[in-house]
């Protein structure tokens, strides 16, 4: 299993690639074998439950704060995103 991981922090810029400076870290990881992108928004909060909507699972803390977001079938998601971005703007 090959995973790609980048650590991000919010607010500002730090010296390492994919790292921003903040009070809290956000960890991004991709699991190629299951094609899932995980965005760990706040590792200090406990997860109480998750909600599954489409190809996204959002893990929430007891006070309904998002802690972890999983994007399933991320290759398909990115492909559709690129296609949408590359579409010419409609002329009014």
Residue with tokens 């007891």: 62
Is residue 79 very low, low, confident or very high in pLDDT (cuts 50, 70, 90)? very high
* Element (DSSP H or E) covering residue 81: helix 74-86
Average pLDDT of the residues in 15-22: 37
**What is the reported pLDDT for 88?**
83
Percent residues over pLDDT 90 in the chain: 46
**What is the reported pLDDT for 23?**
52
CA gap 79, 81 in Å, rounded:
5
When computed from its CA atoms, the radius of gyration of the chain, rounded to whole angstroms, is 16
């Amino acid at each position: 299993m090959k995973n790609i991981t980048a650590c991000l922090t919010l607010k500002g810029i730090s010296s390492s690639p994919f790292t921003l400076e903040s009070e809290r870290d956000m960890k991004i990881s991709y699991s190629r074998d299951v094609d899932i992108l995980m965005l760990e928004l706040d590792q200090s909060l406990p997860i109480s439950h998750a909600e599954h909507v489409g190809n996204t699972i959002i893990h929430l803390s007891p006070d309904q704060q998002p802690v972890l977001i999983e994007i399933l079938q991320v290759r398909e998601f990115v492909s559709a995103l690129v296609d949408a971005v590359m579409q010419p703007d409609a002329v009014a």
